[in-house]
Amino acid sequence: MPQIRVNPNRMELLRLRKRGATARRGHKLLKDKLDELMKEFQARISDNRRLRRDVERELQGAFGLFALARAEAGSGALASALMSGEALPLLDVAQQNLMSVRVPVFSLGELPEPGGYSLATTPAVLDTALTRLAAVAPRMIELAEREKAIELLAAEIERTRRRVNALEYVLIPTIDATVRDITMKLDEAERSNLTRLMKVKDMIAQQEAAEGR
């Protein structure tokens, strides 16, 4: 196990023990955060699957109507009809703090009524197709918001997991190994000092005994 290069003294030992305690507290906080992120992620994944199925089903119906309109009017007339009208800002974007992750919040404005194209050159089914598409638009925006939040949560989960693993498998074991090494060296130095003191004491006792004779 690699160790931190420090002088093996009691001051460094105390500093490393404090650092190890801080690392363990940080590891626990990050582990708790990771667990909560995973719960939120799993819940959103389940809800998102249901919403995506609904949106895809509604879009399939709308696109089927557009296919009928193209077959009746032709691609050129349909494209001209869809390009008519004025472009309006319909979407507002804000942010929300979700467990320290900034996720987008989309707000869809009121959609304009279908129109602005010639009724003489376009089939009635086009109106129905646009109405169906406008009806599913809010759910499409909701789906986009949810999927972006899931993407950001997944990135935060990965970042948090890397930090948890770095603490659990690298920093904390390295600090513990260094603490054990310093403790062993200090104990060895203390035993050596005690041995020297005992030898000095024996030498003094011998000298006093010799002088007493």
Domain CATH number, residue 92: 1.10.287.3240
**Gap between the Cα atoms of 130 and 141, Å rounded:** 16
Evaluate whether residue 180 is within a structural domain: yes
Evaluate whether residue 2 is within a structural domain: no
Whether the Cβ atoms of residue 171 and residue 20 lie closer than 8 Å to each other: no
What count of residues does the chain have?
213
Evaluate whether residue 91 is within a structural domain: yes
Answer yes or no: is pLDDT of 213 > 60: no
pTM of this structure: 0.74
Evaluate whether residue 51 is within a structural domain: yes
Say which range, 43-47, 69-73, 105-109, 121-125, has the weakest mean pLDDT.
121-125
Evaluate whether residue 4 is within a structural domain: no
Nearest to 175 by CA among 10, 30, 11, 24: 24
Range of the domain at 119: 10-212
- Could you report the per-residue pLDDT of 134-157, keeping only the tens digit for each? 888 889 999 999 999 999 999 999
Average pLDDT over every residue of 151-164: 95
Average per-residue pLDDT in the chain?
Answer: 85
Evaluate whether residue 3 is within a structural domain: no
Average pLDDT over every residue of 19-40: 95
- Structural domain total, the chain: 1
**Gap between the Cα atoms of 60 and 7, Å rounded:** 70
Evaluate whether residue 99 is within a structural domain: yes
Evaluate whether residue 178 is within a structural domain: yes
- Could you report the per-residue pLDDT of 56-106, keeping only the tens digit for each? 999 999 889 888 888 887 787 777 776 666 666 777 889 989 888 899 888
